[in-house]
Structure 1
């Protein structure tokens, strides 16, 4: 059997396609092809006008994870596999992920031609170059780091007067593999566990210490912090880390706090919202 069939992207609106399920890799690949723009397009992303080319679409890891019912590791391994096989080109910055389907002409071509033609131009040159990419990313990185710093202070765990170079370096290192939303999600979960009566964890990190991979990772929602640090019925430490962290000593808490040269207090309060836009509002309160 040779040739191709026409599959209209409106199939995505059909109740059969919209059934809630965990996507297979084939379904995810087909979904990506249908999400790609069939012609150049522009759309408003926040306050920024974004241009996408034919065969491209803009998304985020969180959106794809929710759409396909996948975990973060499975998604990243899948996208890496597609890139290595020359099937996609992925560009990620602090705001969004842009995916280009290589040889898009294989999957979407006019009927008037003798069949789909390879999109050689796309494969050879990749997505259009952003001549201001480095300049824009440097500016965005600095702003995002400031916003994350302000968000941490707003949680009232251990406040810092100054955004030191060490703190900047730690935040920047985490941003290499995590989105701002993932970082603030982990911070919020940590605050909930620290202040909640249902949980045994009592150790207060400085921001610099919290940004170490082993600390921030254990409070990500995917790693079940609300179960791992839950108290056992009848008292005592329970959860995954109960045996290893059975009661943080007063000496260790003091040692951690000595690392916060700019410590100014530890009031507790709840906080909601983790979007980049909300981070901007929080950051403005600290300027």
Structure 2
């Protein structure tokens, strides 16, 4: 597994006096009132909220479906208000999307129990073979090595059908549990996806994501017997293409770079700082409308 500290992305700064915090207990559907205390509180990292707010909504909804007493915790990780807000929610276990957030909480507020969303989702036995892509695993170095969380990321990816590699081969896309890392990799011209995008669907920045296997190419060749090597009885033991271009001899670069109707669209750009800030504002409004109105 690739271990690189890859944080060169900064989350957008809010305007002075603007409060994008949202810390709330869930509503009890039967009574219409808030739960007295929460079992869990979902704490998505700011970069995920700014980049892919739809995933935040879907992730919270999926946890809330299983555990109706799950609160929501959208807050700056550096805020001194976190302990008091945690106590107001009934001292729940905090569910983080960022291993860096887990590090900070464990270091600064050791009284707060923390679990990654990846461990929680694995406990819920999330599965489904909907992605057969080859990926290289990528995660940042953390002060407190979270082996359970990293093992959960691997397990979730494999349960979704992904084929994982510990080293980055040529053109092999990365899969990560760090939104900062995903953005940094994409900014540096690498193909990368967040594990939550596989689970909840690709966000806007990956709508037209291109992987080396996302095209069809003809690997059939005419053998010395004058037939297709795939059909010739004497040559039929030639292995079929696995879909990973680095494993075969096809001229896949020409296919990827081809022009015309069959050519794939380039990936959409990452959101600008202004767009990220707009996403944060809209996310707070949407969460209130969906879950507290």
| TM-score normalized by the length of structure 1 | 0.27
* Larger RCO, structure (CA 8 Å, separation 6 or more): 2
Q: Kindly indicate which of the two structures has a greater share of residues assigned to helix.
A: 1
